[in-house]
């Protein structure tokens, strides 16, 4: 008996003589023929996918064009299909063994940076299948054709050392995947257990407010005592300076102080189970933002869809979810609130999405929270709304500017910093995010305008402040963005936060290094609202490092959508206390070896906060840019002497809020991949 079967191309396989093979092989061969051969292969263009959702890099990724939105052009050859990327780019796909091939032509775009070499990699299940070698502008495109049979996870990497330079464009031209049974690639699964470490808050009162607060003489004063514990609760304050009063039911302190000076105050929170006390130093002088701002920003929640209802819902949720009891304060409206110039100051007025702007601000203040807004010295904002300058004396946007808004992202001839600052002060604004490719003159003009506005308005500049001017940012602002916009990926977190050691000496009370918003919860960073792509371990690392860095903590997700894990992540008072420590020192990277980093932060009481991070070999090999699902923890012995600490220390696990003992010289632990052990170290004589 002879058996024949046609494969997909119609070619007959070799005849099998069944007298010469065992029966079970015949059954196996029949199964292969009726399943594998029956599967149909189809080709899909990468640019037909929602390609932004697969990007774990930072800059833009666009289908069918360059990352700048132009036609793809490599060495004089145009391409209509493909994906354009910018700088180091990471595209990650889950294929589940249902793809057979990837093909493309790769190269540096003709409008890209001619000085920088790019290297293209195709990585599949930890194996590098394609390495282009260094490619530069003007090189002919190189063909990519790799087999993917059985591959679960695919990574497309473009590696380039851009160091903040612009127009670093390259292309995956004609990029296609051959897939089985019309399978559509998925995002890399993020199904790790959302393990909760922090115990529930106690019913006894605990005051969680920062221990120091700065305000300017004669300007409105607003400070809320943040306290956890069973309600109802009453508040009192001993030593309040003249001009301030406390609402004993809400813990909100308001008024105006005329006399400069430092005022020691004793705060008390009391409920039916007991009372808590805490010392507060109020410093009335020239410096505000004595601790990093902590609150919420609407951009990564709602982007251009922000409106008055969403803002007020966020403020209500901050109170309802209890975040305000842990010190969370600011409700910041990002780009897309701006309308036209007008009013008595000829300043930017709110658009139709904010019909009762002043009433909204007053409502949020009534909750004991503060309000922030967004602006820019450019003619148009990044979202295309009116900015703080114009080439026309009246400052209004024409129909032409609205239609060509990207062309007006520059500082115009006529500037309106004083107008806008006075309007913000009259509304009661407490925070300004000022956003553009930062230069000193624009930063200084707004700094002066805010200080002369008659209100304390925390001044935060964004984005990618040049490090060369860091002394100017310290002099002029309260916080300054140290890098590009953050994305919900380990790569973006690593670039935004794990590279900040050189900035550390410059951050401190009144002027904070800002790595951007937090990327926990449900976020939208160029795609639709979705759960953060950071694993739970990465999220613990994220919050730990931001706190160690004394960074502004601005939640970037809808507060009302917080799940139990994310809420727990954001309400550990001992972690927040590290961020809000009055000494204001940023942690330093004091040790790095074999994929472990140690960040050390001195605290006001003489103790240290220490983060032991397992960053792996991230960025050192093409494979390290991707998550493969088989990562394991690493055993590590923390030798105190290697970071300059000698003797015995009482160690406290900050996330678990648990003392773990007194250790002499070293401490051994396991650290999850991309995870952290966050410790508080108290010198011990015993």
In 3D, which of 675, 650, 532, 533 has the Cα closest to residue 597? 675
Q: Does the CA dihedral 558-559-561-563 come out positive or negative?
A: positive
What Cα–Cα distance (Å) separates residue 288 from each residue in 370, 431, 462?
14, 11, 19
With tokens 């920062």, the residue in question is 210
Give the model confidence (pLDDT) of 25-80 as tens digits.
444 544 444 444 457 899 999 999 999 999 998 877 999 999 999 999 999 999 99
Give the model confidence (pLDDT) of 416-433 as tens digits.
999 999 999 999 999 999
CATH code at 206-284: 2.60.40.10
The mean pLDDT of 265-276, rounded to a whole number, is 98
| Full DSSP string of 358-402 | HHHHHHHHHTT-EEEEEE-SBSB-TTS-B-SEESSTT-PPPHHHH
Give the model confidence (pLDDT) of 102-146 as tens digits.
999 999 999 999 889 999 999 999 999 999 999 999 999 999 999
pLDDT at 37: 46
Q: Three-state SS for 555?
A: strand
- Looking at the DSSP bridge assignments, the partners of residue 681 are 608, 651
pLDDT at 22: 56
Cα–Cα dist 184/179, whole Å: 8
The mean pLDDT of 524-544, rounded to a whole number, is 92
pLDDT at 11: 35
pLDDT at 38: 54
Whether pLDDT at 590 is above 60: yes
Give the model confidence (pLDDT) of 183-194 as tens digits.
999 999 999 999
Q: Are 93 and 185 in contact (CB under 8 A)?
A: yes
Radius of gyration of the chain measured on its C-alpha atoms: 28
Cα–Cα dist 631/538, whole Å: 13
Average pLDDT for the chain: 93
pLDDT at 15: 41
| Full DSSP string of 579-610 | HT-TT-PPPEEEEEETTEEEEEEE-TTS-EEE
CA count, 13 A, side-chain hemisphere, 248: 6
With tokens 């792509």, the residue in question is 533
Give the model confidence (pLDDT) of 384-420 as tens digits.
999 999 999 999 999 999 999 999 999 999 999 999 9
Cα–Cα dist 27/403, whole Å: 67
Q: Supply the angle between the helices 536-548 and 490-497 in degrees, to the nearest 10.
A: 10
CATH class given for the domain over 42-180: mainly beta
Whether pLDDT at 18 is above 70: no
In 3D, which of 329, 211, 201 has the Cα closest to residue 277? 211
Active site residues per annotation: 435, 485
Range(s) of the chain covered by CATH 2.60.40.1180: 590-684
pLDDT at 1: 38
Cα–Cα dist 331/326, whole Å: 15
Residues sharing a CB contact under 8 Å with residue 597, sequence separation 6 or more, in sequence order: 498, 589, 591, 611, 612, 613, 615
In 3D, which of 496, 472, 484, 392 has the Cα closest to residue 435? 484
Pairing, β 206-207 against β 512-514: unpaired
| Full DSSP string of 463-512 | S---GGGHHHHHHH-SEEE-SS---SSHHHHHHHHTT-GGGGGG-BTTBE
- Dihedral, CA of residue 332, residue 333, residue 338 and residue 344, to nearest 10: -40
What percentage of the chain has pLDDT greater than the value 90? 90
Cα–Cα dist 244/251, whole Å: 12
Q: Which helix (H) or strand (E) holds 448?
A: helix 440-451
pLDDT at 528: 84
- Looking at the DSSP bridge assignments, the partners of residue 374 are 433
Range(s) of the chain covered by CATH 2.60.40.10: 206-284
Give the model confidence (pLDDT) of 156-175 as tens digits.
999 998 776 778 999 999 99
The token duo for 33 is: 């023929």
Pairing, β 634-639 against β 252-256: unpaired
Range(s) of the chain covered by CATH 3.20.20.70: 294-557
Whether pLDDT at 330 is above 60: yes
Count of beta carbons in the 10 Å neighbourhood of residue 406: 9
Cα–Cα dist 348/631, whole Å: 51
Range(s) of the chain covered by CATH 2.60.120.1060: 42-180
What CATH topology corresponds to 590-684? Immunoglobulin-like (2.60.40)
Whether pLDDT at 320 is above 90: yes
Q: Three-state SS for 305?
A: helix
Pairing, β 370-375 against β 431-435: parallel
The mean pLDDT of 629-640, rounded to a whole number, is 97
pLDDT at 526: 66
Under DSSP, the state recorded for 55 is B
pLDDT at 5: 38
Q: Are 507 and 465 in contact (CB under 8 A)?
A: no
Q: Which helix (H) or strand (E) holds 269?
A: strand 261-271
pTM above 0.85, yes or no: yes
Pick the CATH number of 294-557 from 3.90.470.20, 3.40.50.720, 3.20.20.70, 1.10.260.40: 3.20.20.70
The token duo for 304 is: 């251009």
Cα–Cα dist 187/152, whole Å: 11
């Amino acid at each position: 008996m002879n058996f024949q079967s046609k494969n997909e191309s119609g070619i007959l396989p070799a005849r099998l003589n069944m007298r010469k093979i065992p029966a079970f092989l015949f059954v196996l061969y029949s199964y292969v023929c009726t399943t594998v051969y029956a599967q149909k292969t189809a080709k899909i263009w990468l640019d037909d996918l929602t390609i932004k959702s697969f990007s774990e890099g930072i800059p833009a990724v666009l289908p069918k064009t360059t990352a700048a939105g132009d036609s793809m052009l490599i060495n004089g050859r145009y391409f209509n299909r493909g994906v354009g990327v910018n700088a180091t780019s990471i595209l990650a796909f889950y294929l589940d063994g249902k793809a057979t091939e990837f093909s493309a032509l790769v190269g540096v775009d003709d409008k890209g940076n001619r000085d920088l070499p790019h290297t293209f990699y195709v990585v599949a299940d930890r194996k590098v299948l394609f390495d282009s070698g260094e490619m530069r502008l003007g090189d002919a495109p190189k063909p990519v054709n790799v087999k993917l049979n059985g591959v679960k996870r695919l990574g497309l990497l473009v590696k380039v050392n851009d160091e903040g330079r612009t127009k670093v464009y390259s292309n995956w031209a004609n990029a296609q995947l051959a897939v089985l049974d019309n399978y559509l690639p998925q995002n890399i699964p993020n199904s790790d257990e959302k393990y909760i470490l922090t115990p529930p808050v106690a019913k006894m009162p605990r005051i969680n407010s920062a221990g120091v607060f700065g305000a300017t003489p004669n300007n409105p004063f607003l400070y809320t005592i943040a306290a956890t514990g069973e309600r109802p609760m009453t508040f009192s304050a001993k030593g309040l300076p003249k001009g301030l009063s406390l609402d004993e039911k809400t813990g909100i302190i308001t008024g105006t102080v005329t006399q400069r000076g430092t005022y020691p105050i004793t705060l008390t929170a009391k409920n039916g189970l007991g009372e808590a006390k805490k010392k507060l130093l109020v410093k009335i002088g020239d410096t505000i933002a004595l601790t990093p701002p902590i609150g919420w920003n609407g951009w990564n929640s709602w982007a251009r869809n922000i409106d008055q209802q969403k803002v007020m819902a966020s403020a209500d949720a901050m109170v309802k979810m209890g975040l305000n009891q842990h010190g969370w304060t600011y409700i910041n409206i990002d780009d897309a609130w701006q309308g036209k110039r007008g009013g008595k100051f000829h300043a930017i007025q709110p658009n139709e999405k904010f019909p009762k702007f002043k009433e909204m601000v007053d409502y949020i203040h009534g909750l004991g929270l503060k309000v922030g807004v967004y602006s820019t010295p450019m003619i148009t904002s990044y979202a295309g709304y009116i900015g703080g300058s114009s080439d026309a004396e009246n400052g209004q946007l024409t129909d032409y500017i609205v239609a060509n808004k990207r062309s007006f992202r520059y500082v115009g001839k006529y500037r309106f910093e004083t107008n806008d600052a006075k309007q913000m002060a009259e509304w009661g604004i407490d925070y300004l995010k000022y956003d553009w490719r930062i230069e000193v003159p624009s930063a200084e003009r707004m700094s002066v305008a805010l200080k002369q506005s008659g209100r304390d308005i925390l001044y935060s500049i964004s984005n990618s402040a040049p490090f060369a001017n860091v002394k100017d940012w310290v002099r002029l602002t309260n916080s300054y963005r140290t890098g590009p916009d953050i994305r919900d990926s380990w790569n973006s977190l690593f670039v935004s936060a794990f590279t900040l050691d050189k900035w550390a000496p410059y951050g401190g009370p009144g002027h904070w290094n800002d790595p951007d918003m937090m990327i926990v919860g449900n976020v939208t960073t160029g795609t639709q609202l979705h759960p953060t792509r950071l694993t739970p371990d990465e999220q613990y690392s994220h919050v730990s490092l931001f706190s160690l860095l004394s960074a502004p903590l601005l939640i970037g997700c809808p507060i009302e959508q917080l799940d139990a894990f994310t809420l727990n992540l954001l309400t550990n008072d001992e972690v927040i206390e590290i961020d809000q420590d009055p000494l204001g020192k940023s942690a330093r990277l004091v040790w790095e070896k074999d994929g472990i980093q140690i960040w050390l932060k001195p605290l006001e009481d003489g103790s240290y906060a220490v983060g032991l991070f397992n960053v792996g070999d991230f960025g050192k090999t093409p494979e390290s840019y991707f998550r493969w699902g088989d990562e394991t923890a690493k055993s590590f012995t923390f030798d105190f002497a290697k970071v300059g600490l000698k003797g015995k220390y009482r160690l406290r696990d900050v996330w678990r809020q648990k003392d773990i003992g007194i250790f002499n010289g070293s401490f051994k632990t396991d650290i999850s991949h991309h995870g952290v052990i966050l410790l508080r170290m108290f010198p011990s004589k015993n």
